[in-house]
Amino acid sequence: MLDFKTVISVGAASLVSIQAAPHKSGKTAQITPNIILIYMDDMGYGDIGRTGAADYLTPNLDLLAEEGMQFTWFYCPQAVSSASRAGLLTGCYPNRIGISGALFPWSTTGINSEETTIAELLKTKGYRTGITGKWHLGHQEKFLPLRHGFDEYYGLPYSNDMWPINFDGTPFTEVDMSIFRSRCPVLPLLEGNEKIAEIRTLADQDKLTTDYTQKALNFIETSKDQPFFLYMAHSMPHVPLGVSDKFRGKSGQGLYGDVIMEIDWSVGEIMKSLEKNGLTENTLIIFTSDNGPWLNYGNNAGSAGGLREGKSTSWEGGQRVPCIMRWPGVIPKGSVCNKLASSIDILPTLAAITGADLPAHKIDGVNILPLLQGNKDIVPRHEFYYYYQENDLEAVQQDHWKLVFPHSSQSYENQLPGNDGWPGPLGRKTVENPELYDLRRDPGERYNVIKLYPDKVKELGIVAEKARKDLGDNLTNNPGSNRRKPGSVK
């Protein structure tokens, strides 16, 4: 077995050598770095300093990138909360495991106990596992983190706007069960499986980022003597925005900028804690977001950095998210990865690093460890499927080409301030005919080049047929043959 210290002591030449010891599963690595996965809620591609954030600074995220790798072409599995988290934690397209959109406080489904989460996978290698923040894979006990591989849990069971409070902080009193907020109970804060407090006011929301950070720091302190996996799933910058007094009014971009500054501070506190405990070298930090900005909320939403549209769409602004990884001695310092990757690739990558067995059932992620190691020749992922709604295949990608199929899409015009987000009236802009985009030249998806490249359309059509056969596609009435069911309660 190769220990981590050996890897880092021989420097850059050894970057591929963590694959030295063969494993009976065919995977090869045998080390157990600590893993910290920081997952933002609705942070857009353009919301960090490295990708053009304006009127506020993100010095700690900048430092993380300077000491690690920035991914420029990294996709969330689907541009909405529960689906994205399901994909992240299981390494599957969320529609494969029966999770779509956002679960509600009255939902009767959640993650199936037959699925393997990253936490469960790492438990087989002796990891201590903890989650701080938003779960959103089912709020009934059988779906909560402690039943899916986590030793500890502190946070909200679903989104922070699923509460009976208006955006000005006043109680929502209208009794109309067709209105989203009428149906939401008081927002519970959970520790383990128990409700320990209620989030009832905007002032309560203001405390979340600092509270989560403190819990995360405690987890690091108490886990430092064994390998640990910390999943830090911030509730911010999802509306309603909340920020502590130490950052209120500090950015030049209103409350949204203040919130991102506090997130950046939180990342810095975690980096400091690792340094203090001598864990910096042996810890892989992954920072990314569940989906792009929720543009409905105008100045309370983030920026997709010039990409098209945002959350709740399969356009690049919804699916392409910021991503930074740092692992000193393995990830080359200050590097940039322009290759295609997705958060569904994290699970198989962690399996490759630790030597853990992959789940027995089919997953969709691929091992991107060679990308982390700075290998420029290997291309682990050539294709990506853009599913939305329950099971609509809205687009497919092969390398830098993206073929968009006719579908009803939430349009930017209907996401402007004044609309109260879902489940209010979302405008749907229809894509009438297939469109083709060359994302290498046109990441903003402004120029439909379908007439210029008929051969590409054919090639991408084959990719789409493969997806439909396997995962199905409601837009073409194809059930698919390899979908699994979510968990459910009566």
Helix/strand/coil for 218: helix
Q: How far apart are CA 450 and CA 464, in angstroms?
A: 16
Cis preceding-peptide flag for 423 (omega within 30 of 0): yes
- Distance, first Cα to last Cα, the chain: 48
The single residue listed with the structure tokens 């830090």 is 232
Residues 291-320 that bind Mg ion (CB under 5 A): 291
Question: Which of 354, 287, 370, 304 minimizes the C-alpha distance to 67?
Answer: 287
Q: Which of 42, 206, 364, 399 binds Mg ion (CB under 5 A)?
A: 42
Scanning 34-42, 114-122, 143-151, 246-254 for contacts with Mg ion by CB under 5 A, the matching segment is 34-42
Burial of 430 (0-12, 13-18, 19+ CB in 10 A): exposed
Judged by CB, which is closer to Mg ion: 302, or 443? 302
Q: Supply the angle between the helices 254-276 and 59-66 in degrees, to the nearest 10.
A: 50
Judged by CB, which is closer to Mg ion: 290, or 445? 290
- Which residues lie below 8 Å from residue 59, measured CB to CB, with a gap of 6+? 49, 264, 268
Q: How far is the CB of 421 from Mg ion (least distance, A)?
A: 11
Contact in structure between 365 and 342 (CB atoms under 8 Å) = yes
Scanning 40-48, 94-102, 345-353, 399-407 for contacts with Mg ion by CB under 5 A, the matching segment is 40-48
String of contacts with Mg ion for each residue 45-84, x by CB under 5 A? ------------------------------------x---
Q: How far is the CB of 43 from Mg ion (least distance, A)?
A: 8
Q: How far is the CB of 104 from Mg ion (least distance, A)?
A: 14
Q: Which of 7, 38, 41, 160 binds Mg ion (CB under 5 A)?
A: 41
**Interface size with Mg ion, residues (CB under 5 A):** 5
Q: Determine what percent of the chain falls in helix, strand and coil, rounding each to the nearest 5.
A: 30, 20, 50
Q: How far is the CB of 167 from Mg ion (least distance, A)?
A: 17
Q: How far apart are CA 270 and CA 275, in angstroms?
A: 9
DSSP assignments along 136-169, one per residue: -S-SSGGGSGGGTT-SEEEE-SS-TT-SSB-TTS
- Quick count: other Cβ atoms within 10 Å of Cβ 345? 25
Judged by CB, which is closer to Mg ion: 78, or 81? 81
Q: How far is the CB of 85 from Mg ion (least distance, A)?
A: 9
- By CB under 5 A, is residue 473 in contact with Mg ion? no
Q: How far is the CB of 51 from Mg ion (least distance, A)?
A: 18
* Token output for 42: 């609705």
Q: What is the largest CA-CA distance in the chain?
A: 66
Residues 113-152 that bind Mg ion (CB under 5 A): none
Scanning 16-24, 38-46, 302-310, 460-468 for contacts with Mg ion by CB under 5 A, the matching segment is 38-46
Q: How far is the CB of 210 from Mg ion (least distance, A)?
A: 20
Judged by CB, which is closer to Mg ion: 187, or 351? 187
Q: How far is the CB of 208 from Mg ion (least distance, A)?
A: 15
Q: How far is the CB of 457 from Mg ion (least distance, A)?
A: 32
Residues 272-291 that bind Mg ion (CB under 5 A): 290-291
Judged by CB, which is closer to Mg ion: 91, or 237? 237
Judged by CB, which is closer to Mg ion: 81, or 409? 81
Q: How far apart are CA 240 and CA 42, in angstroms?
A: 12
Judged by CB, which is closer to Mg ion: 158, or 228? 158
Contact in structure between 412 and 402 (CB atoms under 8 Å) = no
Contact footprint for Mg ion (CB under 5 A): 41-42, 81, 290-291
